[in-house]
Amino acid sequence: MNRGLHTETLTQRGLKHQSDEMIMQSVANGNLDAMTILFDRYHEWIYNFLYKMKPDAAFCEDLTQNVFYKALRYRTSYSGGKFASWIFSIARNLFHDEVKKEKYRTNVSLDNLRVVEDKEEDLSDEVKRLHVVLNKLKAEEKEIIVMSRFQGMKYQQIAEVIGSSEVAVKTKVHRVLKKMKTLYFENRIV
Amino acid sequence: MKCNTVENKMILFLEGELDPKQHAEMEAHIASCSNCQQMLEETKALLDAFGKVEDEVPSPRVKQGFMELLEEEKSLQQFTIGKNNSKEFAWKTAFQIAASILLLIGGYAIGSFQKGSESNVEIAQLREETSQLKQDMMLAMLDNRSVSKRIQAVNYSEDIAMPDAKVLEALIDRLHFDGNVNVRLAAVEALSRYSENEKVKDAFIKSLTNETNPNIQIAVIQFLVEVQDKRARAPMQKLLEHSETPKFVKDQVNEGLVILM
């Protein structure tokens, strides 16, 4: 019993230095505890994506938990691709499902969700203006900008996640940035 | 280079993605055009603003919740027997040999039966041996790697008129731990014939708590409602509360709960 526990911790420790993909493979093979490592590596990243899209801490915390639970639940469907893209897709799908449900209930669409309102006074002028601009974007425009500029995702990775091509994503990001630049300087006084 | 082109390439320029020749052309144009200079500054300012947004830190509640869900999932984790590497055994041949031995013994038995009345006892013995042999075969086959073999084995159990505890236990093991849905479903069907058996009922109650496949959930609920086992109410209530439970399963639960009241 004791020995088993010992080996378990050793494997866990060994995994700590492995790639995301190796660890997820281990989870898929039944080592569920290893998911904790991936949770520690990615939950803030996922949480921040959700929070940028919908700044509601309780909502995003629940959803972040749920993302990792889904990943655990459907571990066998992980097919060895880049883990970050896989977990991000789960988050994105869950998020859109939730928003759809909410829209159905409250009639508030994603386009009308505001970015960060509560802690507004602590923010610098630039950040406040950026939020105003982000709020003026369409949901899909905002999403692609969040992925590219806040999540640090490469165009290729975004393309994978949203099912598009690298060139198309790049063009779109640039187009939205141009639009944002115009809005950003149009609204100097807010 | 025209201002329009410069505008379109501004982000590529700032990201350093242009080839050296275009990059130089951009630099030259911007140096000589005040409009484009302003545009460059504005674009830079926007991109800088992104960097000033600070990351949010979720509360420790998220990790706690995740750890709870992890424990829940671990308790549901089922052992997949289908993965062990036992060597493939030639079942067909084994059955054929068994059948011919039985035939031989059978022939001998008939012969001796015709000889005298004591043979009745021998026949009875033989029958018992036959069913014992069948049962052993079935038990061995249940651990086979192939899904269809396991289903076949589960179905063989129907030929066994009075299965002993070993057979029931093996079937219950399939119901709980087999990695394949179809085998589990076959086990539900096979076990449903022993509705009087307390062990079987216990197994179904346990299965209702752990099973995640809707088809099996439905079969198990039907059985438990049929035998009027009121202990099923608690796990059925739980299914109703679980967000993963599909609607048609919930409908079945609701129907069942009315009957079990």
Verdict on whether the full-model pTM lies above 0.90: no
- Range in A11-20, B21-30, B61-70, B116-125 with the lowest mean pLDDT: B116-125
- Burial (0-12, 13-18, 19+ Cβ within 10 Å), B252: buried
A178 at the B interface (CB within 8 A)?
Answer: yes
Domain-located, residue A86: no
Q: Domain coordinates of chain B in residue numbers?
A: 3-46
Compare B195 and A3 and report the one with higher pLDDT.
Answer: B195
Domain-located, residue A151: yes
Q: Do B49 and A185 touch (CB under 8 A)?
A: no
pLDDT at A187 over 60: no
The reported pLDDT for the residue numbered B116 is 63
The reported pLDDT for the residue numbered B57 is 92
The reported pLDDT for the residue numbered A175 is 92
Confidence of residue A39 (pLDDT cuts 50, 70, 90): very high
The CA distance from B42 to A69, in Å, is 43
Domain-located, residue A53: no
- In total, the C-beta contacts within 8 angstroms joining chain A to chain B are 89
State the smallest CA–CA distance between residue A43 and chain B in angstroms: 9
Residues of chain A numbered 12-41 and touching chain B (CB < 8 Å): 30, 32-33, 35-36, 39
Total count of domains within chain A: 1
The answer to whether A111 and A103 are in contact (CB under 8 A) is no
Domain-located, residue A147: yes
State the smallest CA–CA distance between residue A60 and chain B in angstroms: 8
The reported pLDDT for the residue numbered B84 is 43
pLDDT at B83 over 80: no
Confidence of residue A160 (pLDDT cuts 50, 70, 90): very high
The answer to whether B204 and B224 are in contact (CB under 8 A) is yes
Residues of chain B numbered 41-100 and touching chain A (CB < 8 Å): 42-43, 45-50, 52-53, 55-59, 61-63, 65-67, 69-70, 73-74, 77
Compare A154 and A16 and report the one with higher pLDDT.
Answer: A154
Q: What rounded mean pLDDT belongs to chain A?
A: 84
pLDDT at A11 over 80: no
ipTM of the complex: 0.82
Residues of B in contact with A150 (CB under 8 A): 50, 53
State the smallest CA–CA distance between residue A127 and chain B in angstroms: 6
Structure token pair of residue B82: 């289908």
Instruction: CATH number of the domain at A179, please.
Output: 1.10.10
The sign one gets for the Cα dihedral B82, B87, B92, B98 is negative
Domain-located, residue A91: no
Domain-located, residue A33: no
Helices (H), A16-149: 20-28, 35-53, 57-73, 83-106, 125-136, 139-145
- Range in A31-40, A98-107, B21-30, B85-94 with the lowest mean pLDDT: B85-94
